[in-house]
Structure 1
Amino acid sequence: MICDQKYFENILSNMIDILIVTDPDATVGFCNNITLDVLGYTLKDIEGMSVGRLFDDKELQFFGLIKRLIKEGCIRNKGLYMLTKDGNRIPVVVNGSVIRDENDKIEGMVMVAKDMREVHQFITELAQINEDLETRVSERTEELRIAVEMSKDAYSDLQQAQAQLLQSEKMASVGQLAAGIAHEINNPAGFVSSNLKTLEDYIKDIKSVLNDYKTILLNYSNVSDNNLVNSIRAVKEKEDSIDMSFLLNDIDEIISETREGMKRISKIVKDLKEFSHIGSDKPEYADINRGIESTLNIVWNELKYKAEVITVYGDIPQVLCYPQQLNQVFMNLFVNAAQAINEKGAIKIRTFFEDNHAIVEISDTG
């Protein structure tokens, strides 16, 4: 295939990047179509023009760039701003080389500039998205902090209620008190659980944005545009200073631990509601094993430092009884057993069905 000069000129004219060819004095001798489209000149306007007029050179960067190009023979990935005919600035990344004849004499220079406006716009939009996400997460985190404080207050009320339960002999009054506290603690518990789910969603969004940032850092880390390089460097320094990788991992652990805590609170609330339920004047069928387990959960703070609790539950049917009064008996037995142990001991609870009777055995090492 024979390729004449017109064929090559057609290729150069239709490049997607800006192409400018100058003589040794940096006077424009040729440019492609995209150069005219981007800068707003006609071919007649631009031919014979000093190439320096096409660049924003307030700091004489372009003059130094030409000297470096002549001295070193080429330049790579230099970030500059070009000027349109109307005076608008366009960010570009410039690569250039010197054209020499067979005697090594400079015949001219060729420059290729990549339009970076879309990249700059993308980074600006990404930064705004990140700022919006940080604001949303900050707001939700503050709500979560308030909810946690409410849970702490509710838990303190719950501890006081447990102390009153252990001392009270008026079952109806104690039951109403415990039921009220259980209701109060259930509200912030639900609030915290909801906020945790929202926080998880926000963290996923943040991770997605951070991945986009990392892609930008990887793709444009070798670009010499001063503003872009400084922006990328600032993002990297901020990420390193706050140890972003550790924070993201630690947030996941915090959410997981908080969820476990909320499950514990929910279980206590459920057991407290069951324990404090004021039954009717008539006996009713109840699960004895379930009653023991709920009561243990309520008085666990009194037992955990004094004794290891061993439970051996048998397969027993539901028993016709007064569940609330029976749970109060269990509570008194468990607390008395713990108080009888001077140091670390054990409390064993065994249930079984024998001779048509449900039997509960409680023993301790005190």
Structure 2
Amino acid sequence: MRKKDATNVPKGDLKTPKQDLTIRNKGGRPRKEKSDQPKSIWELHKEMNDKKSSSVTRKCISCGMETNSESRFPYAESNIYMSNGHRLPICSNCLNALYNIEDMKYESHRETYRRLCMMFDLYYSDKMADYAYRDSTDNTRMTIYCKKIHTPAYFGKTYSDTIAEDGGLFLSREVETEPKVEEPIEPVDPDNDIEIPQEVKDFWGFGMQNKQYHFLDVKYKAWLQKVDATNDPAYESILQNVCRLELQIQEAMADGGDISKLSREYNSLLGSLKLQPKQNDVKEMTDSMCFGNLIKEWEDNEPIPEPEEQFKDVDGIGHYISVWFLGHLCKMMGVKGSYDKVFDEYREEVAKYTVEKPEYDEEDEGGKFKGLFSPTAKEDG
């Protein structure tokens, strides 16, 4: 009996189930289909960190500065900055300037740090705030704080962790049994409560409110504690403009306006006064100085103290040079006046080693000795 040709059998008559060979791997085992589940936030976090930060152009939301350098933007643990390489969208200069503006609204530095951490979803700690305030200046308050919390001990922590450590966002309150009757409060103008001396108004010019005069006077005195502008009118004028710009930035931010132009002008003035953070960096300052200017900087700021009397000239080299070099030179050149003391020391020291010819009278033995051996005595003999 002839075998049935397999090619003439209809495909639908095969009792074996069809198998999709496209889903088999080289070993013959079925391959697992890829799931369509979305990637977790940690996978996205890893992918963003694997990207080269130099290829990302960042822009400051305050001054509008654009750069490829990620070091100009402080690091933040919050995942809302993941697409920005976990960098804040505001540059270091604007962040520090924002701290100084917010600091005028609060009584302590802890409250200012807490407000900015709340604003940018940063982890807040009283201990870190005290350390950052101690180790920073007015131009580096927030950048130093961001560096201190960017450690393994605070990895992944945000302001949500601060809320959890404080006991929750909404604290429990006692329910009042009787409704509280609020008394009407009379509007008070805080501008009338500030007394401004006339010399302050003359210094800043007329046409401003008392609270504006008070703000300018406080900021100007604070700047004078860091720089000396009393002997240079040009320096003083630039410092006045810095204070005026700080007032304009604060008022613009309170009204919700754009401060990018004001921030650029503010940074430019700080650069002319050499008060920017990069200009205050001691390492960069010493690297750019020649050896003579570096010695002058040390002598002006940290001079060597005057030694005690017993340690002024321990080995006597100072006295040696003063007597045998300077004193002898004064004698040769006939110099007097301010070098009389040196010349007197020189004469006293020379007198110790000077031999003078002895003089004898006729009556003493020296005279007899001279008479015996004198030429006249030989002629008489």
TM-score normalised by structure 1 residue count: 0.20
More helix, by proportion: 1
Structure label with greater radius of gyration: 2
More strand, by proportion: 1
- With a CA cutoff of 8 Å and minimum separation of 6, indicate the structure with the bigger relative contact order: 1
